[in-house]
Structure 1
Amino acid sequence: MALLAPIRTRPRMDRWSTVWQIDWVLVFGVVALAFLGALLVWSATHNKTSLTGGNPDAYLIRHAINFAIGLVLAVGAAITDHRRVRILAPVLYAGSIVGLILVLVPGIGATINGSRSWILLPFMSVQPSEFAKLAVIVGMALLIAEKSETDRNEEARTLDVAQAVAVAAVPVALVMLQPDLGTVMVLGSIVFGIIAVSGVPKRWMLALLSAGVVVAAIAISTHVLKRYQIDRFTAFMHPSSDPQGIGYNVNQARIAIGNGGIFGQGLFHGGQTQNGFVPEQHTDFVFTVAGEELGLIGAGAIIVLFAIILFRGLRIAVNARDAFGRLVATGIVCWFAFQAFENIGMTLGIMPVTGLPLPFVSYGGSSMFACLLAVGLLQNIHLRSHRY
């Protein structure tokens, strides 16, 4: 009942004043990306009856519905009192752990594209690892912030950081068991970013990097990683070694992007896209649709929009009123930055294929919900920095 009780220590702000204080530049960046994503997903799926079941607008409608639901979640996160956010952080963390455990249970978790990462529900599928990214951020931020505020010390102690890393290690281990290497890499970037701004000595950064190398070596030697995942790294290092096998996706993606030129071939007119040469084009390889059909201009616009979102996120982190807000905003920026770089990079052949969606652009409910919840938290931190 305590969570339901109103928390009011200051007069409620005027509604219109709050509206004007929203970071509308951040909102514009997110909405613009989602709009472009809807067009790209529509183009990639409208003529594939095996996906749409004969309705060419099926994925466009679903993408719009996912965004609408995510927008409601974002608004809820933005207007929630920041103290409730801190109280609910352990609940989010515990819920994500339960979800990551459930996907490993036979009969509950489902394997898609070689990774046991999904829970199939009657009307949708849920990927708990997407929400685990946000859970790791708020879990680590809460632990470090609580310790530093209790000790009245702006810099976290080594013991505090060790405990925070332990908090992150549990979901990382569970995601490795799926195995979902891409999400593990994202979680690693989040942990590294939060630790970097926590104030610990620089030797911690070297220790984290060393630990990552050791964990990767153990995962390979103990066969935690599947053979196809190792082959993806082999194809990344030697892209011409198996162009019709493990290197097929990347080669077709690069051809599609190269075909686009500066202005693109036009929406719904890309040869590679409309003929289905690039697999998973509405999810993992959606950037290739932009490259082929919208050209350098359209693909560049997506990158610019991500740059705007990341800049506003960093600005929110710098202006945050407390350690918790600063650490949460930093973790979200690291999440979006690394995942966007990895997704776009794998389509260009400069990063290995890991199966990560492009935030706000790729089709997928779990990814959209988690990313918009994160944007809601950024707005929550931003609004609070203007209230006091």
Structure 2
Amino acid sequence: MTEMVYGSVPIRAGEPILPRWWRTVDKLSLVCILLLCCIGLLLGMAASPPLARDNGFAPFHYVERQALFGGAALVAMFVTSMMSPTLIRRLGVIGFFAAFVALALLPVLGTDFGKGAVRWYSLGFASVQPSEFLKPAFVILTAWFMAAAQEPNGPPGRLISLGVAVVIVGFLALQPDFGQAALVLFTWGVIYFVAGAPILLLLGLAGATVFAGTVAYSNSEHFARRIDGFLSPELDPRTQLGFAANAIREGGFFGTGVGEGQVKLSLPDAHTDFIIAVAAEEYGLVLVLTILALYAIIVIRSLFRLMRERDTFTRLAGAGLACIFGIQAFINMGVAVRLLPAKGMTLPFVSYGGSSLIAGGITVGALLALTRVRPQGEIGDILRRKGWG
């Protein structure tokens, strides 16, 4: 009988879903994700007790909540990773419209929690940030449009997805949340690049983004203040960036020791946006490099596995999800070491935050689902059979 697969994993009739999932999933990436969750809890125990005390809570209030949200994120990850690409696409499109409506209603129903940016819905016992859930859904929607555009007589998917991205960026700029807006545009560019975009067009879009940033700098005090602080040659040691930079310097190679760090006493966002400063101060460069390596392994392995995929949607969506996951981590750590302006962006699976953790679980769950080995053959097998390789 002719091989039922094209050089990949054989089909086993009647095989239960869990054994099939375990046989085909990227186990190394899965282990790296679980290690990031454990590191997040470890750093949460170091960073959050001072804030909990100041807010009148039990010392490990935020750690317990992070464990709860992290558990929900892992459940979301495991469930999503068992789905087929078709189901990922369908649920992603539905999820996009739900998240987009929630994002559009933020100016009316949202709150800023005193931070100057209306990004959340307050539920009393918790808060929800729609943009966190919109990002993976937007990747899936964009990949679907661009894959459809490559079909004979397909729709103008590139143009439609660009229009969707511009609308999303507009709503994010109104909050204002220029960091997430830049992340959305960058991810769209990555997917378009993988889909075969001309490099000159991408350069033109990059120029347009720079122009939009210049306009935002001239018209948004929030945006201008962050850019000015980043470009200033002198770093005010009393600012969050100043405290974070000092903590990273104090940590050295091996850190000051567990519980010995001081930055958590000064930074209100030590358990969220600046969690890497706590890691650097108490555990040193060793832990920071470990965290960097874990993110790099997840992204690089995913991209290599996607290079063997022949399905256009799977390649585009997987590449977009891998890059949005990795770039968010890069932005968070880049801000802490002053490589980038302050963005207010969490470190996936390490920072505290319910929306960030659960949305991150969905993101990597979809990525694990799309990078599973399937009985469809690798793209190289197809080219060899056609005599192209």
Scaled by the length of structure 2, the TM-score of the pair is 0.88
- CA contact under 8 A between 1:320 and 1:381: conserved in structure 2? no
Instruction: Supply the AA of the counterpart residue of 2:208.
Output: A
> Is residue 2:49 matched to residue 1:78?
no
1:115 to 100, 117, 120: 117
- CA contact under 8 A between 1:52 and 1:58: conserved in structure 2? no
Q: Deviations over 1:171-201 (max 9, x none)?
A: 1111111110111121122111111111122
The CA distance in 2 between the partners of 1:220 and 1:346, in whole Å, is 18
Where does residue 235 of structure 1 map in the other structure? 229
User: Which structure 2 residues correspond to residues 1-388 of structure 1 after superposition, within 5 A?
Assistant: 11-14=13-16, 15-50=18-53, 53-105=56-108, 108-112=109-113, 113-151=115-153, 159-221=156-218, 223=219, 225=220, 227-240=221-234, 242-244=236-238, 248-273=239-264, 276-383=265-372, 385-386=374-375
Q: Deviations over 1:366-388 (max 9, x none)?
A: 11111111111112112253566
Task: Name the stretch that deviates more: 136-145 or 198-207.
Answer: 198-207
Q: Deviations over 1:146-170 (max 9, x none)?
A: 2213459xxxx9x432222112222
Aligned length: 365
Instruction: Supply the AA of the counterpart residue of 1:250.
Output: L
Instruction: Supply the AA of the counterpart residue of 1:134.
Output: P
Q: SS of the residue aligned with 2:181?
A: helix
- CA contact under 8 A between 2:256 and 2:284: conserved in structure 1? yes
Structure 1 unaligned runs (5+)?
A: 1-8
Instruction: Compute the displacement of 1:90 (Å).
Output: 2.3
Where does residue 386 of structure 2 map in the other structure? none
Instruction: Supply the AA of the counterpart residue of 1:183.
Output: Q
The CA distance in 2 between the partners of 1:283 and 1:139, in whole Å, is 29
CA shift in 2, pair 1:76/1:241, >3 Å:
closer
Instruction: Supply the AA of the counterpart residue of 2:126.
Output: M
The CA distance in 2 between the partners of 1:178 and 1:48, in whole Å, is 26
Instruction: Supply the AA of the counterpart residue of 1:128.
Output: P
- Identical amino acids, percent of aligned pairs: 32
Where does residue 5 of structure 1 map in the other structure? none
Q: SS of the residue aligned with 2:119?
A: strand
Instruction: Supply the AA of the counterpart residue of 1:339.
Output: Q
The CA distance in 2 between the partners of 1:220 and 1:237, in whole Å, is 13
Instruction: Supply the AA of the counterpart residue of 2:336.
Output: T
Scaled by the length of structure 1, the TM-score of the pair is 0.88
The CA distance in 1 between the partners of 2:61 and 2:283, in whole Å, is 22
Where does residue 6 of structure 1 map in the other structure? none
The CA distance in 1 between the partners of 2:36 and 2:217, in whole Å, is 36
Larger RCO: 1 or 2 (CA < 8 Å, sep 6+): 2
CA shift in 2, pair 1:76/1:243, >3 Å:
same
